[in-house]
Amino acid sequence: MTTIPTTPTPDGGSIPVFGLGTWRMGERGSEAEREIATLRKGLELGITLIDTAEMYGSGGSERIVAQAIAGRRDEVYLVSKVLPSNASYEGTIRACEESLRRLATDRLDLYLLHWRGSHPLQETVRAFEKLKADGRIVRWGVSNFDVEDMEDLDRISTDCATNQVLYNLSRRGIEHDLLAWCRQRSMPVMAYSPIAQGALAGNRTVEAIAQAHDATAAQIALAWVMERPGVVAIPKTSHPERVEENLKSLDIRLTDSDRAALDRAFPPPRGKTSLEMI
């Protein structure tokens, strides 16, 4: 079993730097057995962070997670998200209770606003704080928030634990300002789609570096993301064998030459760009 490093959260807690994403899980009953097996394989390997959302499979992903962690809830750092359309005060509380029911648990370790919507942030934050006071969630955070959104939130509360955003070698826009903004506050950035849904596998530079490290393109992409302080990677796979492969990215140490080559192939941003989402 691998001991996965952690990174601090602003309240003095911590979060593992590597976890399992579950987007697109729970959408097809024929895939359920393999999806459950994949998550259980992760637990066996020491991967405790599992990220899901009420949106994924219209609750189906949460049900898959519930089956995978049955009898092992206390080992898991469980993350879910509320849809912005549900993020009124009462709606957030109701959505959280529904997620808890689907996940067959009494609490979430982290509860996120999936993206900013029309409901006032004050209402959502007030609901988060109520859920926290009631022991239904341990921490709360946001997803897909750019710097201006984070500054709006910061004027309401400084208790935000994380911001989950799209980040990988081919999507580096957050390096211009958002990554530093979060880092200054010891706020982890959770990188979703860190291997660009496999799209990096065909890149010559990534493949060459992978060959030099006797690794896969996905492992290089994950190693690149996780070597950044305060960044958490949550790759998604539905193949049990890929979980172990992805986990081995923690052992890869990129060289200065590797980094320079990757910067040439995937240049860092030269200015502000709109926050990308998928």
Q: Which active-site residues does the annotation give?
A: 56
Cβ atoms of 225 and 165 within 8 Å: the answer is no
Question: Whose CA is closest to 139, among 129, 126, 149, 124?
Answer: 129
Going through 91-166 in order, the beta strands assigned E by DSSP cover 110-113, 140-143, 163-166
- Which tokens sit at 209? 């570096």
**Unique residue bearing structure tokens 């493949």:** 207
Q: Which of helix, strand or coil describes residue 166?
A: strand
Compute the distance between CA of residue 250 and CA of residue 228 in angstroms, rounded to an integer: 12
Q: How far is CA 65 from the centre of its chain?
A: 15
Q: Which phi-psi region, left, alpha or beta, contains residue 158 (left: φ > 0; alpha: ψ -120 to 50)?
A: alpha
In what helix (H) or strand (E) does residue 121 lie, and over which residues does it extend? Answer: helix 121-133
Cβ atoms of 45 and 2 within 8 Å: the answer is yes
